[in-house]
Amino acid sequence: MKRLRIPDLLKGLAILFMIQVHIMELFIDYAGRESIVGKVSLFLGGPFTAMVFMIVMGYFVAKSQKTTMRTLLRGVKIFVLGFFLNIGLNFHLLLKIKYAGWPYNPLEYIFGVDILYLAGLSIILLSLLKLIKKYQVIVSLLLLLSVLLLSGPVNEMLTFPERNYITPFIGGNYSWSYFPLFPWLAYPLAGYFFFFAEDSIKQFVSRKKEWAISVFVLLVAAVICFSKMGFNISVDLPAYYHHGFKYGFWALGLLIIWTTIFYLLVKKFRLSRIEQFLAWMGKNITLLYVVQWLIIGNIATAIYQTQALNRFPLWFFGILFVSLILSWLLAKTKIKLA
């Protein structure tokens, strides 16, 4: 499949935002996280990271010509990769739990529902959705809306007093469930929907520009109107991971605006070196994601939330540099993680 430039650039920028927010969350002390810089960091690590990854992934699952079985196997492979990544990034912590008696439950870290678990399950579900040959636009849109609207009730229903490690993959307000299917399946579905609706949207924009501009202006106004709610949830991690339909719709609106502006800027200003850098990261997103988490996760066990804010740039650029070098070397060996 021929690579598309804009999705790779969006993913490349998103991984930069993700690395910086992981460092802010896990390394920087309370005062730093509560500062203006800390809040902006957490916000950039909200709608502009995981949601972008999932929307782009959903689009390419819809676009893919692979057989259902091959797509299913890819989903299983990514899910299993999530299991081993959780062990790898928490390896230092798991050693502390076993040999130093740290009072934490290791299963909450091994089965912590991170984005690779979500990605694997989403690919499996979308591959099954493709078996429905007709009405893909309508079905995917209805499912997207249903996931967002039902997320609140589903999360309440699946939050049990007794501990378990199965339902958190679906939903529930568990501290170790970061990306459950409710509400996060909505974003792969959004990308999936866009693929099938793309031609109709382009025709609408080209034939009825005044209407398209009016809709875009109304969308901008709505996003601005609810920006306080959106910002507050983005910087509150438990609320962000288990958000409801209001935030979901707001985030999708923000990302439509963000993607449109990004597309127009890239089209007007061609910065070849920067574009090549971002595109390479976007192309190697899974590899880079795994490498940066292995580094950040194991360092975090030793210095968890103890670093002053003025050390943030040092940690960010240092870890980014090491992650890029290791990812480049691994990419040269033709290692494929997904």
Q: Which two tokens stand for residue 12?
A: 């490349």
Q: What string of pLDDT tens digits covers the 338 residues of the chain?
A: 567 889 999 999 999 999 999 999 999 999 999 999 999 999 999 999 999 999 999 999 999 999 999 999 999 999 999 999 999 999 999 999 999 999 999 999 999 999 999 999 999 999 999 999 899 999 999 999 999 999 999 999 999 888 889 999 999 999 999 999 999 999 999 999 999 999 999 999 999 999 999 999 999 999 999 999 999 999 999 999 999 999 999 999 999 999 999 988 888 777 778 888 999 999 999 999 999 999 999 999 999 999 999 999 999 999 999 999 999 999 988 666 76
Residues whose CB falls within 8 Å of the CB of residue 177, separated by 6 or more in sequence, listed in order: 112, 113, 168, 169, 171, 241, 242
Q: What is the pLDDT of residue 300?
A: 98
Tokens 């005062």 belong to 31
- Helical residues (DSSP H) of 169-284, grouped into ranges: 181-184, 186-207, 209-225, 227-234, 237-241, 245-268, 272-283
**Is 266 within 8 Å of 6 (Cβ atoms)?**
yes
Q: What is the distance between the alpha carbons of residues 302 and 156, in angstroms, rounded to a whole number?
A: 35
The answer to whether the bond into 183 is cis (omega within 30° of 0) is yes
What is the pTM (predicted TM-score) of this model?
A: 0.95
- Nearest-5° Cα angle at 185, 87 to 64: 90
Q: Which two tokens stand for residue 246?
A: 């209001």
Q: What is the distance between the alpha carbons of residues 330 and 113, in angstroms, rounded to a whole number?
A: 26
Q: What is the distance between the alpha carbons of residues 258 and 48, in angstroms, rounded to a whole number?
A: 9
The sign one gets for the Cα dihedral 168, 173, 177, 180 is positive
